[in-house]
Amino acid sequence: MANADFTPDEMMTIAAARALSNDDVCFVGIGAPSAACNVARLTHAPDITLIYESGTIATAPSVLPLSIGDGELCETALTTVSVPEMFRYWLQGGRISVGFLGAAQLDPFGNINTTVIGDYAHPKTRLPGGGGAPEIASSCGEVFITMKQTKRGMVKAIDFFTSFGHGKGGSDRQDLGITTKGPTLLVTDMAVWRPNPQTKEFEVNSIHPGASREAIAASCDWDVVYAADVGETPPPTELELSTLREIKARTAAAHRRNAA
């Protein structure tokens, strides 16, 4: 049964979780991707393999980690390997089907910037940088992106190419010698987007309940393109919503306890 009482944030996490399947081996970014991946694991994809770059393979945390190296990830993992092994054998070795990333700045071709706002040598704002993302973006079978819509975040042109998506579109990715699919999905708090098969520019495929074309345009700096057939994202089910709320509540309680 659908629940009419949910936030755009919850809809974003749940729509992102739905894109993952039981067979996926998923390299999980921290923050919004982590919530989505664990909701998938706790609902329709109990056997999904979640991997964090700290080396934890097939982890099943009961609360969402604050960092990619929280102890909970190691305690609940099938095995924990070193960071060089993680990047060499598992990521570069082609064992990961989906990389799930967040973004500070995103362009319509799925290129991501988490490095600097402004000039690299004299930045207006120095952001954290890439971490594992440059190689996650090129070595995972495909890449899912999730972020909240803002005009500052979804821009026509990013200031720095931290992670390569589809470049300027078309065959840019293959032309660079990259054999993986790259970004195939963007889930925001307003819509589900997929790249146009030819141009590789993100198009809105479905609009979340409560959102609108006006609201999407007002919170995205690029000119929004819509797929030929735009539907409404199915609202969260009771199970999806309760699973998300329970893990968020457990997470808040655990982090309060640790802080006490």
Number of residues that bind other proteins (CB under 8 A): 56
Q: From the CB of 115, what's the least distance to other proteins, in Å?
A: 7
Cα separation, 252 vs 43, whole angstroms = 20
Residue 255 interacting with other proteins (CB under 8 A)? yes
Residue number, 7 or 174, with CB nearest to other proteins? 174
Interacting residue with other proteins among 135, 153, 181, 199 (CB under 8 A)? 135
Residue number, 22 or 82, with CB nearest to other proteins? 82
Tokens of 259: 């802080």
Scanning 10-18, 124-132, 209-217, 220-228 for contacts with other proteins by CB under 8 A, the matching segment is 124-132
Classify the C-alpha dihedral 160-142-180-174 as positive or negative.
negative
Residue number, 73 or 186, with CB nearest to other proteins? 73
Residue 70 interacting with other proteins (CB under 8 A)? yes
Q: From the CB of 27, what's the least distance to other proteins, in Å?
A: 12
Q: Are 130 and 115 in contact (CB under 8 A)?
A: yes
Q: What phi and psi, each to the nearest 5 degrees, are found at residue 237? A: -80, 165
Q: How many CB atoms lie within 10 A of CB 259?
A: 6
Interacting residue with other proteins among 105, 138, 146, 205 (CB under 8 A)? 138
Residue 81 interacting with other proteins (CB under 8 A)? yes
Tokens of 223: 């000119």
Residue 160 interacting with other proteins (CB under 8 A)? yes
Interacting residue with other proteins among 10, 24, 53, 201 (CB under 8 A)? 53
DSSP secondary structure string, 141-154?
Answer: SEEEEE----TTTB
Q: Are 207 and 230 in contact (CB under 8 A)?
A: yes
Cα separation, 239 vs 2, whole angstroms = 9
Beta strands in 68-210 (DSSP E): 79-80, 98-101, 105-106, 112-113, 116-118, 123-126, 142-146, 183-187, 191-195, 202-207
Residue 68 interacting with other proteins (CB under 8 A)? yes
Q: Are 159 and 117 in contact (CB under 8 A)?
A: yes
Scanning 133-141, 183-191, 201-209, 225-233 for contacts with other proteins by CB under 8 A, the matching segment is 133-141
Q: From the CB of 212, what's the least distance to other proteins, in Å?
A: 32
Residue 54 interacting with other proteins (CB under 8 A)? yes
Catalytic residues: 53
Interacting residue with other proteins among 102, 132, 169, 195 (CB under 8 A)? 132
Cα separation, 235 vs 4, whole angstroms = 7
Residue 74 interacting with other proteins (CB under 8 A)? yes
Residues lying near other proteins in the complex (CB under 8 A) are found at: 30, 53-56, 65-75, 80-84, 86-88, 91-92, 115, 120-121, 123, 126-135, 138-139, 160-164, 167, 173, 176-178, 255, 258-260
